C-alpha cells in the first residue's frame, strides 16, 4: 500500500515530496522499490524531505541530514561521512553536531 501511495504522490509532477517513514512496515522487496522510486525522483530534480527513524535509510537516501531535537536544529551531517552512531547520539542530545566538525574538547593556549 505504501508503494502505491509513493507512486501516486509522484505522478502529478510535484516539486517537493515529503516522505514520512516511507518504508515502515513494508517487506524488503517493497522497501527496495520505494527506495528506488525516491532515488529516481531525486535524479529527476524533485526535492525530497525524508523523515525516518531508520538511520540506514536516512544515510542511504539523503544528500544532507539535519537532526531536530525538542523543536530545534541540533546538527547537520553529510551522509557520506556520518555513522548511525553519530546520528543516534545527536538524536538523543549527545555527540557531535556535524560531520567534519572540529573537536570542542580541546583548548587552545
84-94 pLDDT, tens digit each: 999 999 999 88
Other Cβ atoms less than 10 A from the Cβ of 43: the count is 8
Residue written as cell 555513522?
83
Q: Which domain holds residue 23?
A: 1-62
Same domain? For 41 and 81 the reply is: no
Q: Is residue 86 part of a domain?
A: yes
Which pLDDT value is given to residue 9? Answer: 64
Q: Is residue 109 part of a domain?
A: no
Q: Answer for the pair 56, 82: CB distance below 8 angstroms, yes or no.
A: no
Which pLDDT value is given to residue 108? Answer: 33
Same domain? For 11 and 54 the reply is: yes
Q: Is residue 105 part of a domain?
A: no
Same domain? For 44 and 5 the reply is: yes
Same domain? For 12 and 58 the reply is: yes
Which pLDDT value is given to residue 14? Answer: 78
What is the mean pLDDT of the segment spanning 3-29? 79
Better pLDDT: 58 or 104: 58
Same domain? For 55 and 85 the reply is: no
Same domain? For 12 and 49 the reply is: yes
Same domain? For 21 and 52 the reply is: yes
**Domain count for the chain:** 2
How many whole angstroms separate alpha carbon 90 and alpha carbon 72? 12
Which pLDDT value is given to residue 37? Answer: 87
How many whole angstroms separate alpha carbon 31 and alpha carbon 40? 14
Same domain? For 48 and 73 the reply is: no
Same domain? For 40 and 1 the reply is: yes
Looking at the chain, the whole-number percentage of residues with pLDDT higher than 70 is 75
Query: pLDDT tens, 32-59?
Result: 999 998 898 889 898 999 999 999 999 9
Amino acid at each position: 500500500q505504501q508503494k502505491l501511495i509513493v507512486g501516486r504522490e509522484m505522478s502529478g509532477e510535484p516539486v517537493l515530496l515529503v516522505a514520512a517513514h516511507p518504508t515502515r512496515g513494508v517487506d524488503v522487496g517493497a522497501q527496495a522499490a520505494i527506495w528506488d522510486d525516491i532515488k529516481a525522483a531525486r535524479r529527476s530534480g524533485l526535492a525530497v524531505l525524508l523523515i525516518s527513524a531508520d538511520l540506514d535509510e536516512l544515510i542511504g537516501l539523503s544528500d544532507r541530514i539535519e537532526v531536530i531535537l525538542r523543536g530545534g536544529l541540533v546538527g547537520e551531517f553529510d551522509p557520506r561521512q556520518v555513522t548511525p552512531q553519530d546520528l543516534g547520539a545527536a538524536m538523543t542530545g549527545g555527540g557531535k553536531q556535524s560531520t567534519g566538525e572540529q573537536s570542542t574538547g580541546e583548548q587552545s593556549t
